[in-house]
Structure 1
Amino acid sequence: MMMFMRPAPGQVLHFSEDPTIERFLPHVAPTSTQSEPYVWAVGHDRCPDYWFPRACPRAMAWVGPRTTEEDKVRIIGPGCGERVHAIEYGWLDALRDVELYAYRLPADDFAPIGDPPHAMVSKVPVEPLAPPERVGDLFALHEEAGIQLRVLPKLWPFWHEVTESTLEFSGIRLRNARR
C-alpha cells in the first residue's frame, strides 16, 4: 500500500519536512564532507534511510554479501528480516508526528556518489516532476518494507556493535545522539 515511497523507474527521491520547494539548487550542506555544491537525492535502496525526521539520529544495519549468519542473528535477530533501524526514545514523538514529504526528481540529472554509492547528486538545479507527496505513517512504512525498527535509550552501544560486525551500515545525524 505505501511502497510508493520509493522512486519509480527514471526517478530519485528527496525527502524533506518542507512541502514548498519548487526548485532544488545545488548547495554545500553545512554537515557535508563534500566541498562541491550538489542537489542530494536517493535511489530505491537508500530511501528507507530517510524515513525519519531530518534531525533524528539513526543507526541502520542490513545484511550484505559478506555478512555472517552469526552477526545477522546477533544484531538483527533470528527471523527478524534483513534490515534494522534504530533511534533513541527521545525521538519517538518526532517520528510519530513529523510531516515528511517525498519529492520525485528526474534520475537523468543525477549521478551516484560514494564508494559504495550511498546517494545521488546533481550539479545543476532540479525541478520536481510533481508536487511533493506526504509520506505518512513512518512506522507503517517500516513495517510494510519489512524493516525492524528499534527504540533504544542510546544509539552508541548499538552503533559500535554494528560497525564492528560484518553487516553493512549507515548512520545519519549521529551528532544528535545522546552521549
Structure 2
Amino acid sequence: MRPRPGEVLHFSEDPTITRFVPHVAATAQQPEAYVWAVDHDRAPDYWFPRDCPRGMAWTADGTTREDRDRIIGPGCGTRVHAVEYAWLDRIASVELYAYRLPATEFERFQKHAMVATEPVAPLGPPESVGNLLELHEEAGIGLRVLPNLWGFWDAVRSSTLAFSGIRLRNARPRE
C-alpha cells in the first residue's frame, strides 16, 4: 500500500474519518498543529498497528556493505523492520486502513513526514491495507521478530544505515 502520484497516505485503524483536522499530538515534539501523512518511501514505516514499537533500517548513501550485511542480512534487499514477538499476533490481526490525501495540501516535515496546516478531506473512502506480513513480503522488506528491540536498535543507530524508530516507548524494557 503506497500512494499514487499526487497523493500521500495517512494510516489509521479508524475507518470512519471524513476530514483530517490539524492537531498537536500528545507525543508531539513541536507545538504546531498538523495533519500528518507519508510519501511513497516512508509508507512502509506505518504498515503496523498504531502503538506497535518498531525499528527500521535501510541503505542510504554512505552505507557500508558490512553494515548492510550485518544488520539487513546478505542477499536480503535494502530494508529491514524489527518488532517484538509480543506484537506479532496484533500485526497479523489488525484491521489497518489507508486514506489517500492530495499531496498538494502537504509540505515536507524534516525527512520523514508530510504535514498540512489546514483541514484535509480524503480523496475517497479508506482502503483496507490487508495482510501486513504479506505487504512486507511483497515489498521485499525483511521483517525481523525479536524478544526485545533494544539490541537491534543499538546496532542500527551505530551503523551507517538510515533508520527510524516509532513508538519505541512501547517496547519491552532493556534487558
TM bucket (normalised to shorter chain) is over 0.9
| Pairing partner for 2:150 from 149, 156, 178 | 156
The yes-or-no answer on 1:78 pairing with 2:74 is yes
**2:78 is the alignment partner of 1:91:** no
Q: TM-score, normalised by structure 1?
A: 0.96
Q: 2:137 aligns to what?
A: 143
Matched, 1:124 2:132: no
**Alignment size in residue pairs:** 173
Matched residues in 2 for 1:62 and 1:160: separation?
Answer: 15
CA distance in 2, matches of 1:36, 1:18: 23
Equivalent residue number for residue 20 of structure 1: 16
Question: Which residue number in structure 1 is paired with residue 128 of structure 2?
Answer: 134
Q: Distance in 2 between matches of 1:75 and 1:8?
A: 30
- Superposed, 1:47-66 pairs within 5 Å as 47-66=43-62
> What displacement does 1:63 show?
0.4
164, 169, 175: which is aligned to 1:175?
169
Q: Which amino acid aligns with 1:70?
A: E
Opposite residue 169 of structure 2, the aligned amino acid is R
Distance 2:15 2:45 in 1: 19
The gaps in structure 2 that reach 5 residues or longer are none
Deviation at 1:32, TM superposition (A): 1.2
By how many angstroms is 1:34 displaced?
1.4
Deviation at 1:51, TM superposition (A): 0.1
Does 1:45 find its partner at 2:23? no
TM-align CA RMSD: 0.4
Partners of 2:72 and 2:19 lie apart in 1 by 39
- Amino acid aligned to 1:59: G
With the length of structure 2 as denominator, give the TM-score of the two structures: 0.98
Which runs of no fewer than 5 residues in structure 1 stay unpaired?
Answer: none
Report the equivalent of 1:108. 104
Runs (4 or more) in structure 1 with deviation over 2 Å come to none
Cα deviation 1:66-109 (Å, max 9, x = unaligned):
10001001111110110000000000000001000000000000
